[in-house]
Amino acid sequence: MEGVDHLADERNKAEFDVEEMKIVWAGSRHAFQVSNRISRLVANDPIFEKSKRAVMSRKELFKNTLKKSAHAWKMINELRLSDEESIRFRSFMDQPGFVDLHWGMFVPAIKGQGTEEQQQKWLPLANNMQIIGCYAQTELGHGSHVQGLETTATFDPQTDQFIIHSPTQTSSKWWPGGLGKVSTHAVVYARLITNGKDHGVHGFIVQLRSLDDHSPLPGITVGDIGMKFGNGAYNSMDNGFLKFDHFRIPRDQMLMRLSKVTREGKYVASDVPRQLVYGTMVFVRQSIVSNASNALSRAVCIATRYSAVRRQFASQNGGTETQVIDYKTQQNRLFPLLASAYAFRFVGEWLKWLYTDVTQRLEASDFATLPEAHACTAGLKSMTTSATADGIEECRKLCGGHGYLWCSGLPELFAVYVPACTYEGDNVVLQLQVARFLMKTVSQLGSGKAPAGTTEYMGRAQHLLKCRSSVKKAEDWLNPGMVLEAFEARALRMAVSCANNLSKFENQEQGFSELLADLVEAAIAHCQLIVVSKFIAKIEGEIKGKGVKNQLKNLCYIYALHLLHKHLGDFLSTDSVTPEQASLASHQLRSLYSQLRPNAVALVDAFNYTDHYLGSVLGRYDGNVYPKLFEEALKDPLNDSVVPDGYHEYIRPLIKQHIRSARL
């Protein structure tokens, strides 16, 4: 029934102030107000309609993305939206496109790696979209191994230019978003060669296309790399290929904040770590963690509302059928995902703080916290995107058959989201960076250098290596100190075990290769500890609103205890908990599920998503699922006619043949 709230009973059960929880979720009252206003602005504009994406051809979809991006830019200017509002606007538009890379990587690369003069020249052009840029790093032959890139930038002192060249097929740039059909410029990563010497990979601003007619400049071959996973989905993005044939750019288009090439061709390295050339990736990895909570919360919102609407099997007394959300199996799969969405939100907030802090330190030439910032951004990007991709797929299954329908919103969400496990660094490759950092930290224990930040717990190795958990009853698992100690002991013991095994190898690099799988597991344990500890820090802080803190506590312990359950092998094999304590944790988890159950729908309402942004018939705010499923089905182009195209060519002859042979 139109206008009826089918989820009203669920909403009435809530034991907390949903409006206050919306503010906690958004991060502040101001952030909530911005999100709330901008999401409705986008939702009410027919240009941003998105339900037909799956049935569009690639060309239609791409043109539709251009149209939406142009309209968004017009609105952003007409309404004089701030940077914060513009970012929200693009995010609620919810259609991947070249603008993501322009604002998300091209502009940050110039800001992070360009000199003052370079910023003054290029940023106004980029900020006004008089030029459109992308981030061209990955090549056909190398993505993860950045130092293996083959594109060259050779300085020619006679003309004061760099010659950008793709010497092999594998050196072609391959994957950059926005490159295929739109970008006029790119930040291109290439090996810098001066006086015959290779100085490694550096960034260069390169114009690719004419600003008059958009044709590629002479010496440049560029195009789209073709269809990607899923119909619609990420195919709105023009990921591209790019080949250079001795293409010349002026010397001042090398991004020279970190190192310079003089007019004479002398390479001058500054005293900052060369890894800062990877700074844009660190920035984006940090954003991807916040983004994980958006994607997971969307899926969880859909699965939770639908699980409250959906009924299967009569209860024993033959009354109304059971809401599937009341099955303990459904809760055991769904509620940890709901808790994870909140957990990733809070760790994302903290990571943003860490990133801002390290950026300020770098500006003051303090590089001490750079390795930790790299390890945290890499590890948390990896951990949260893997969990989110798996979580979206689990939400699809939680919605049964209807979850597989495009209009559930889940297939498209999954198809768009899953490459996050690969882009900005393959998730395994990134965890290995964390593992290196951990091995280094363990090797320095006892050297007098106390570990700080997220490895501070390793400084308490003497205690953590031999302590026994003091959990005696199920409620002890609601004690933050006991939960943290179990996670710290597990993470430290796994790292130390890897370090001990490594020390048995004469050649450390060979040992590292042999132990890769164990090292990744140790890195994941460390990252999970970070997320748990940041969630605990959140619930220990000031939180306003009736019942809000209580809900967050439940979510925090569900998050921690479900991880304990999922990785029980780690906890038991490191003696961080006993089998009896693990069983008490499961008992506590069941009790927490029961406490969460009446609040489940309100907890997803707190995400404050519009039906437009959710894009799901199953996750509609009003829960009016069944009539709307019919409406959507009838909109399918196959239902434009009762008898399908092709009937006369392919169906009728078969049937006629059958009738003829039956008569014989």
Ligand X SMILES: CCCCCCCC/C=C\CCC/C=C/C(=O)SCCNC(=O)CCNC(=O)[C@H](O)C(C)(C)COP(=O)(O)OP(=O)(O)OC[C@H]1O[C@@H](n2cnc3c(N)ncnc32)[C@H](O)[C@@H]1OP(=O)(O)O
Q: Which of 38, 101, 529, 614 binds ligand FAD (CB under 6 A)?
A: 101
Sign of CA dihedral 398, 404, 406, 412: positive
Task: Tell me, residue by residue from 433 to 462, as one string, x for binding to ligand X by CB under 6 A and - for no binding.
Answer: x--x--------------------------
Q: Which is nearer to ligand X, 143 or 232 (CB)?
A: 143
Task: Tell me, residue by residue from 400 to 419, as one string, x for binding to ligand FAD by CB under 6 A and - for no binding.
Answer: -------------------x
**Pairing state of beta strands 161-165 and 152-156?**
antiparallel
* CB contact at 8 A, 174 and 225: yes
Q: Which is nearer to ligand X, 286 or 307 (CB)?
A: 286
* CB contact at 8 A, 374 and 306: no
Write the single-letter amino acid at 331. Q
Per rule CB under 6 A, is residue 138 in the interface with ligand X?
Answer: yes
Residue 83 tokens read as 């940077």
Write the single-letter amino acid at 374. H
Per rule CB under 6 A, is residue 146 in the interface with ligand X?
Answer: yes
Binders of ligand FAD among residues 612 to 631 (CB under 6 A) are: none
388 marked ligand binding residue: no
Task: Tell me, residue by residue from 266 to 295, as one string, x for binding to ligand X by CB under 6 A and - for no binding.
Answer: ---------x--x--xx-x--xx--x----
Per rule CB under 6 A, is residue 386 in the interface with ligand X?
Answer: no
> Can you tell me whether residue 189 is helix, strand or coil?
strand
> Measured between alpha carbons, how far is residue 619 from residues 6, 308, 329, 599 in Å?
12, 10, 20, 16
646 marked ligand binding residue: no
H or E element that contains 248: strand 247-250
Size, binding site for ligand FAD by CB under 6 A: 22
The minimum distance between CB 101 and ligand FAD, in angstroms, equals 5
Which of these ranges, 57-65, 155-163, 424-432, 574-582, lies near ligand FAD under the rule CB under 6 A? 424-432
Which of these ranges, 27-35, 175-183, 202-210, 341-349, lies near ligand FAD under the rule CB under 6 A? 175-183
The minimum distance between CB 26 and ligand X, in angstroms, equals 17
Residue 368 tokens read as 């001490």
Q: Which is nearer to ligand FAD, 422 or 497 (CB)?
A: 422
Per rule CB under 6 A, is residue 119 in the interface with ligand X?
Answer: no
Taking the C-alpha atoms of residue 149 and residue 422, their distance in angstroms, rounded to an integer, is: 18
For residue 424, indicate whether it is catalytic: yes
* CB contact at 8 A, 412 and 406: yes
Binders of ligand X among residues 86 to 115 (CB under 6 A) are: 87, 100, 103-104
Q: Which is nearer to ligand FAD, 428 or 537 (CB)?
A: 428
Size, binding site for ligand X by CB under 6 A: 29
Q: Which residue has the tokens 């290779």?
A: 198
Contacted by 239, from ligand FAD, ligand X, none: CB < 5 to 8 Å by type:
ligand FAD
- Of 138, 7, 1, 78, nearest to 622 by C-alpha is 7
Binders of ligand FAD among residues 138 to 167 (CB under 6 A) are: 138, 142-144
Which of these ranges, 172-180, 256-264, 379-387, 609-617, lies near ligand FAD under the rule CB under 6 A? 172-180
- Of 264, 109, 103, 284, nearest to 202 by C-alpha is 109
The minimum distance between CB 249 and ligand FAD, in angstroms, equals 18
Q: Which of 391, 425, 480, 619 binds ligand FAD (CB under 6 A)?
A: 425
Q: Which of 225, 272, 429, 478 binds ligand FAD (CB under 6 A)?
A: 429
Residue 324 tokens read as 């599937």
Q: Which of 412, 424, 485, 488 is catalytic?
A: 424
Per rule CB under 6 A, is residue 331 in the interface with ligand X?
Answer: no
In the chain, how many H helices and how many E strands?
24, 13
Contacted by 428, from ligand X, ligand FAD, none: CB < 5 to 8 Å by type:
ligand FAD
Taking the C-alpha atoms of residue 108 and residue 471, their distance in angstroms, rounded to an integer, is: 48
Contacted by 282, from ligand FAD, ligand X, none: CB < 5 to 8 Å by type:
ligand X
The minimum distance between CB 278 and ligand X, in angstroms, equals 3
Residue 627 tokens read as 């009539």
- Of 295, 296, 303, 293, nearest to 408 by C-alpha is 303
Residue 544 tokens read as 């306003």
**Over the Cα atoms of the chain, what is R_g?**
27
Sign of CA dihedral 631, 633, 638, 639: negative
Residue 43 tokens read as 């939702």
Sequential DSSP letters for 56-69: S-HHHHHHHHHHHH
Q: Which is nearer to ligand FAD, 138 or 330 (CB)?
A: 138
Residue 363 tokens read as 């500006």
> Measured between alpha carbons, how far is residue 574 from residues 469, 489, 493 in Å?
12, 8, 6
Taking the C-alpha atoms of residue 235 and residue 226, their distance in angstroms, rounded to an integer, is: 8
H or E element that contains 495: helix 480-503
Per rule CB under 6 A, is residue 147 in the interface with ligand X?
Answer: yes
Site residues for ligand X per CB under 6 A: 87, 100, 103-104, 135, 137-138, 143-144, 146-147, 177, 275, 278, 281-282, 284, 287-288, 291, 370-371, 374, 423-425, 429, 433, 436
Query: Would you please indicate which residues are annotated as catalytic (active-site) residues?
Result: 424
Annotated binding site: 138, 177
Site residues for ligand FAD per CB under 6 A: 101, 135-138, 142-144, 175-177, 234, 239, 419, 422-423, 425-426, 428-429, 432, 516
